Structure 1
């Protein structure tokens, strides 16, 4: 598409996939990206969430009750929080929390289907 300018979150997603070597749609899986990003994944009957255990060491809980497509989107949403956000949302102003949630949702959208967009 000529004249289209990527958003900052699209640029971030594209740079991330280039950095970790994701070049094929078949690599767009929780298992593949979590391995490349050194994110430990746990599935269980709890809501999806992520945390940085220590600098560069991540863990993520994925709700096993969800359909695989929703698990994938939850994974991407939480990955954005790990990579771009800091702080405890329970102590943040609502507008700041909402901005983080909106950005994580946008990242999940772009990261789930990036090929052929640029």
Structure 2
């Protein structure tokens, strides 16, 4: 088992209190309801205002967008319209990072039998977590890189 970062611990705990342990349990509406967050449909854009997340109707990346916006709701404060652009950039990078870990949690990845090739594994993960291939590929690269470094450190 890998040593988790603070973010991975936070996400594992968050899913734990909601009794979510497997990918098929990931449900945006149930999660939002548990966290007291409201989801409103939009025609085109995604953003958040306080505890309301606006997501485009029937968008193919809806779980990714929800994961990103949920980060802002849970972890950020302040009005981004009046924020220094460097701090805004920092918050967006942090939300993107959160979205990969929330959208495809490490503790769930650890319990999967992944296919041998990165392409096949990415397609499998994309299908399982209802994300795009590119999102799954990037998340798997993060996970496998960390796993490789962990294995390397333990062998020294």
Structure 1 position 32, deviation (Å): 2.2
Q: CA RMSD in A?
A: 1.8
**Greater Rg by CA:** 2
Which stretches in structure 1 are left out of the alignment for 5+ residues? Answer: 53-57
Superposed CA deviations along residues 52-107 of structure 1, whole A, max 9, x for unmatched, are: 2xxxxx2211012621xx11111011101000000011211112111111111111
Q: Distance in 2 between matches of 1:43 and 1:105?
A: 21
Asked if 1:34 is matched to 2:32, the reply is yes
Normalising by structure 1, we get a TM-score of 0.80
Normalising by structure 2, we get a TM-score of 0.62
Asked if 1:24 is matched to 2:22, the reply is yes
Larger helix proportion, structure 1 or 2? Answer: 2
Q: Distance in 2 between matches of 1:12 and 1:83?
A: 11
What's 1:100 paired with? 91
Structure 1 position 8, deviation (Å): 2.5
What's 2:53 paired with? 60
What's 1:73 paired with? 64
Aligned length: 109
Whether the aligned pair in 2 keeps the contact of 1:10 and 1:107 (CA below 8 Å) is no
Larger strand proportion, structure 1 or 2? Answer: 1
Higher relative contact order at CA 8 Å, sep ≥6: structure 1 or structure 2? Answer: 1
